[in-house]
Amino acid sequence: MISKIIAEDLVVKVKKAIDAVDKIVIVAHVGPDGDAMGSTLAMWHYLMTIEKEPVVIVPTPFPAFLAWLPGADCVLDYENHKEKADQLFAEAELIFTLDFNQASRMAKMADAVINAPAPKILVDHHLYPGDFAKVTVSYPEISSTSELVFRLICRMGDFSKINLAAAECIYTGMMTDTGSFTYNSNNQEIYTIISELLKIGVKKDEIYRKVFNTYSADRIKLMGYCLYHKMKIYPEYRAALITLDAEEQKQFSFQNGDAEGFVNIPLSIAGVDFSVFMREDPEKIKISLRSQGSFPANKVAAELFNGGGHLNAAGGESYISLADSIQKFEDALPNYKAFLE
Ligand code: 5GP
Ligand code: MN
């Protein structure tokens, strides 16, 4: 039995909203990851089975390792399809916003979504949701938005409408947002849900291989380079930092998503509980933070890098140079010593 986490009144509101319309747009956050793509596409497949007209629109293209997801070829990215997307937002009767809870996480797509006349339904698992949605389904204790989508569909009485494609998308989001069930994954119901997905026909080992074992040689070389030349350990603070500037990315023919997961690697070093990865983008420094135990990666992200996220997995951005961002991080490390276990 899976517990009824989502409040009944929210389930009723979502069901009514879906029943009343045909044209539904589903959006996720900038730099969509496995959970953003998994949850939006799962919702897309579900809405198709109940004969709605859904479309998934993401602010920026998704990484190549998610291109195999069923339905990914139908996803529009705002960067390359702005005109079409703007029209779809304007015509939408309902907009689902999945896997983020602040409008700013939609980057350049934010205004178009927020100003669209359609009511929004937010489904997400991050802390502190904003108030842009008519219905807010926010459960930070749930480890992925994909799991929440599964729970929501079941609660609407439609478990039988979760087809294999939707199940594969849900499993992918659950797997990627928990580091293949190595963090945020102690809730036993996760495995009850996985068992249901396996019954539908999901081949979990195959999904792992498709997501994690399809990297380019350049990415693996880049990983080696980062670990050998660019990883700095701060033993006193049980911390590690890896940085990558624009020139280095060019050298390794950097593709969207190539550095995905690098930030997790230093956590496997004995004595490291906090790991940070900084990458220089044309307009900003993109920062990923990971921790284990009770060290609050989201607090550091919020206080230093205009970001946020979960206790053990957070992100942010910095608008000063890479060198200055590194300095800022190193200067602040002593302030967080008290949070080490
Ligand atoms: P990643 O390091 O994989 O980009 O992000 C990890 C988690 O940190 C995401 O699931 C998201 O919760 C959060 N996150 C990433 N970037 C940002 C950001 O710029 N702002 C906020 N508030 N959260 C972020
Ligand atoms: Mn997520």
Reported residue count of the chain is 341
Q: Nearest to residue 30, comparing CAs of 261, 307, 265? A: 307
pLDDT tens-digit series, residues 26-58: 999 999 999 999 999 999 999 999 999 999 999
CA dihedral 119→125→126→132, nearest 10 degrees, is 10
Q: Is 288 in the pocket of ligand 1 (CB under 6 A)?
A: yes
The ligand minimizing its distance to the Cα of 127 is 1
Q: How far is the CA of 331 from the centre of ligand 2 (A)?
A: 30
Structure-token pair, residue 314: 């957070």
Which protein residue's CA is at the shortest distance from atom 11 of ligand 1?
309
Question: What's the chain's Rg over C-alpha atoms?
Answer: 20
pLDDT tens-digit series, residues 202-228: 999 999 999 999 988 999 999 999 999
Phi, psi of 329 (to 5 degrees): -60, -50
Q: How far is the CA of 106 from the centre of ligand 1 (A)?
A: 12
Structure-token pair, residue 22: 């045909």
pLDDT higher than threshold 80 for residue 341: no
Predicted structure pTM score: 0.90
pLDDT tens-digit series, residues 247-270: 999 999 998 888 989 999 999 999
Query: Ligand 1 atom closest to Cα of 102?
Result: 22
Q: Which of 39, 177, 183, 288 to mutate to test the pocket of ligand 1 (most atoms within 8 A of CB)?
A: 288
Structure-token pair, residue 328: 């800022």
Q: How far is the CA of 51 from the centre of ligand 1 (A)?
A: 33
Query: Ligand 1 atom closest to Cα of 287?
Result: 2
pLDDT tens-digit series, residues 163-182: 999 999 999 999 999 999 99
Can you give the pLDDT at residue 215? 86
pLDDT tens-digit series, residues 184-208: 899 999 999 999 999 999 999 999 9
Q: What residue ranges in the chain does DSSP mark as E strands?
A: 23-27, 53-58, 76-77, 94-98, 120-124, 135-138, 231-234, 239-244, 274-280, 285-291, 308-309, 313-318
Question: Which residues are placed with Cβ below 5 angstroms of ligand 2, an ion?
Answer: 35, 99, 145, 177
Q: Is 147 in the pocket of ligand 1 (CB under 6 A)?
A: no
Whole-number Å distance between alpha carbons of 213 and 210: 6
Can you give the pLDDT at residue 1? 81
Whole-number Å distance between alpha carbons of 221 and 304: 30
96-109 mean pLDDT: 97
Q: Quick one: 46 exposed, middle or buried, by C-beta within 10 A (0-12, 13-18, 19+)? A: buried
